[in-house]
Amino acid sequence: MSKALPIVVAAVLGSVALVPVFYASKNPNLFQTGAKHSSFNVESASPAEKISYVLGYEVASQTPPELNIDAFNAGARSGHAHEAFPFTEQEVNEAYQQFVAAQKTNQPAAINQVKPAIADQNQDAKFLAENAKKAGVKTTASGLQYIVDKEGMGKSPKSTDVVKVNYEGKLVNGQVFDSSFDRGQPIEFRLDQVIPGWTEGLQLMKEGGEYTFFIPSNLAYGPEGKGPIPPNSTLIFKVQLIAVQ
């Protein structure tokens, strides 16, 4: 294997900081539960199969949305079988440079519109304080605020459940940074693998419900921020809970 490969892989992973739930929404077919894959069954998985699945999930969840899953699987199989690495160090480096160049010129317009500046913590704190006084707004012990736009009639999820949702996310200034509504495609994810505000908030919902969540920075991405979301940002999400699996 090329000595440059570990460096290139690290650089690729570091060059694209993506919000996990947003990444899954762009490639939902890559992140379905194992029960939907004929070669792997969640219910009957052995300890080795579970650990193998975890390793694959963790690696793939850190890759950019341009990941070609067929090529990824081919590389994983070859590496596991200790087959000869097919590319030269120069080819790997050239591919990385081309990949980075393409990333810079093909960023979605919606992401480009959001400045990666640090959010004004005072402004966000003021927003939450004023928002908490509005009619219909409820606040949990953690500081999560929400409005019940439509009460659901189905079951509520547990933190370990996989849920199917539609959502729109925006900052307190009204800037929309991601929307499955706009893509016309709901997403599925396990509830304990997203930001704390989502994990807590969606457990308050029932299938068929529609809530608006106002998520303080400490229940979202905190001082680090993530991708198009500036550090210390309060997030507003309109969420439809379609199904609990």
* 68-77 pLDDT tens trace: 777 777 877 8
DSSP code at position 224: G
**Burial class of residue 176, CB neighbours in 10 A (0-12, 13-18, 19+):** middle
Q: Which two tokens stand for residue 8?
A: 């290139």
Model confidence band, residue 86 (pLDDT cutoffs 50, 70, 90): confident
Closest to 240 measured CA to CA, from 131, 124, 152, 117:
152
Model confidence band, residue 81 (pLDDT cutoffs 50, 70, 90): confident
- CA-CA-CA-CA torsion sign (37, 38, 44, 46): negative
> Domains plus CATH for the chain?
47-105 (no CATH), 121-244 (3.10.50.40)
What pTM, to 2 d.p., does this model score? 0.56
Active site residues: 167, 177-178, 195, 221, 237
**Burial class of residue 57, CB neighbours in 10 A (0-12, 13-18, 19+):** middle
